[in-house]
Structure 1
Amino acid sequence: MNGRRAKYSAMLLLVVGSVLALLAATQPWFSIQLTDTANHASTITVAGSVAAPALTALALAGLALTAALAIAGPVFRIVLALLGVLLGVSVLISAITAVSDAVRAAASAITTATGVAGDASLRRLVHSVDIQFWPWLAVVAGVLIILASAAVVVFSRFWPGPSRKYQTRFAGEDGRPAADVLGESAELAEPDQPTGKGGEEPAVPDTAEPDDDTPGEPRALDRDTAIDSWDELTRGDDPTR
């Protein structure tokens, strides 16, 4: 399987699962019919954020996990993928727990609407519970997150490496530091020095500068003489006399 395709497919699946979980958390999960009394409403709508309070945080964690996977190294990918599996399992547990006992999941909403507390009292108030589509979508989201994380564990070794634009400038193809590559290039480019007879180095011609006393070359004025001449000119005297 192509490494780049495997990477983007797993990350896309993880994003879709996280977004679906976040969407499900914002929608109504249960419509609860209460017994007829004059003290409270007969119908209560319970949102997913109330029925499964942890679902929003889990969905946001899934999106953050996707961003981390995009830049993670080979070892860290496996760690993040295992965390993703736990994340998907947590989404499943939150959704299934809420669906399996809707009265318990909606207890806080019922208490807010009626002022009645206590599990037994709340169950006596509830006439019927209508489960909406959205908690099942959360279940699907949890399954997608688990599948995406498992795909990362299996196929992450085929993923392409990091982009070269983040490597050190002038680094070699094998990832060596730029200093080593430049040093090796300099050694290859440096020509061999010729040797004299018997392996001795050839004599270097004497290029010493001629003596300052050589005729025909003006001697430079020292600093004090130059300053004195300048002062004489400032006073209007001729320093050449």
Structure 2
Amino acid sequence: MKLPAILATVVGAGLALLSWSQTWYDLVLESSAGGGASGDAIAVPGSIASPALAALGLAGLALVAALAIAGPGIRIVLGVLEVLLGGSIVLAAVVAIGDPVAAVSPAVTDATGVAGSEPTAALVATVAPTFWPTAAVVGGVILILAGALVLATATRWPASSRRYRGARLEEDGPGESVPPASDRAIDDWDELSRGDDPTDDAGPTDGTGPTDGTGRTEPNR
């Protein structure tokens, strides 16, 4: 159930982000409102009507990457966070749907220069909603369901790829270890200081000269 849960998270968070960037309401001001011709509709995007959706949607996408590599214990924590995240998206959208006049108030201020909830509400003639507030609610519900799925199946997900596991260094054998390169360089330097050649496989010299490969020692020249 790992893939369905992750795909559902992508869909829910993506739908919340997409709705945030779209038009939520078509606003028409009263004829007495200053600035702008009367009767012209003003498109109010989700970034104005429900600005919190951007951060919530991005957090949902971040959960996707975390779920893909998390262990069983962390998945449960992420599942709880995903349920809470989906509920927050639903709440942010429902608040804007429940009071559209308050949701479009910043747009009224931008168009007329009038601030304050009551003055801006008096300037609103009509507020026509679009499909996108409902789409944001749907995205939040999908995230809630995806989080519940994670909680129900987190311990049965397959293990993550080996590339995400910690590396473990093993010794070559019992009691054997490879000295660090820095130690080997110091040993070679000490041998050179004593007059020995560290690259000579025949071993250190004893003053009688190197061997000739047959076990006999050649005289020094």
Deviations for 1:163-214, whole angstroms, at most 9, x for unmatched residues?
2455578xxxxxxx6738x759xxxxxxxxxxxxxxxxxxxxxxxxxxx9xx
Deviations, residues 9-28 of structure 1 (Å, cap 9, x unaligned) = 00000100011111101110
Aligned alpha-carbon RMSD (Å): 2.4
C-alpha separation in 1, matches of 2:159 and 2:26: 50
1:166 & 1:88 partners in 2: Cα distance? 28
Contact 2:20–2:46, Cα closer than 8 Å, also in 1: yes
Runs of 4 or more above 6 Å deviation: none
Q: 1:37 to 1:84 in 2, by over 3 A?
A: same
Which of 5, 10, 15 is equivalent to 1:10?
5
Q: How does 1:123-134 map to 2 (within 5 A)?
A: 123-134=121-132
Match of 1:206 in 2: none
Q: Which runs of 5+ in 2 are unaligned?
A: 175-207, 209-214
Give the aligned residue type for 1:30.
Y
In structure 1, runs of 5+ residues without a counterpart are 1-5, 170-176, 185-211, 227-241
Distance change (3 Å), C-alpha of 1:161 and 1:27: same
On the 8 A contact 2:68/2:160 being kept in 1, the answer is no
The alpha-carbon distance between structure 1 residues 117 and 87, as it changes in their structure 2 partners (threshold 3 A), is same
Counterparts of 1:44 and 1:132 in 2: how far apart (Å)?
A: 13
Deviation at 1:61, TM superposition (A): 1.0
Residues 21/38 of structure 1: CA separation in 2 closer, same or farther (3 Å cut): closer
Contact 1:168 1:178 (8 Å CA) reproduced:
no
Aligned: 1:179 with 2:199 = no
The residue that corresponds to 1:157 in the other structure is 155
Larger radius of gyration: 1
Cα distance in 2, alignment partners of residues 86 and 218 from structure 1:
84
Task: Report the equivalent of 2:26.
Answer: 31
**1:59-74 residue pairs with structure 2 within 5 A?**
59-74=57-72
TM-score normalised by the chain length of structure 2: 0.74
Q: Percent sequence identity over matched residues?
A: 47
Structure 2 CA distance for aligned equivalents of residues 97 and 168 of structure 1? 46
Question: TM-score scaled to structure 1, two decimals?
Answer: 0.68
Q: Provide the secondary structure at the position in 2 that maps to 1:110.
A: helix
Alignment: residue pair count: 180
> 1:119-172 CA distances to partner (integer Å, 9 max, x unpaired)?
111111111211111000000000000100110011111100122455578xxx
Q: 2:117 matched to which residue of 1? A: 119
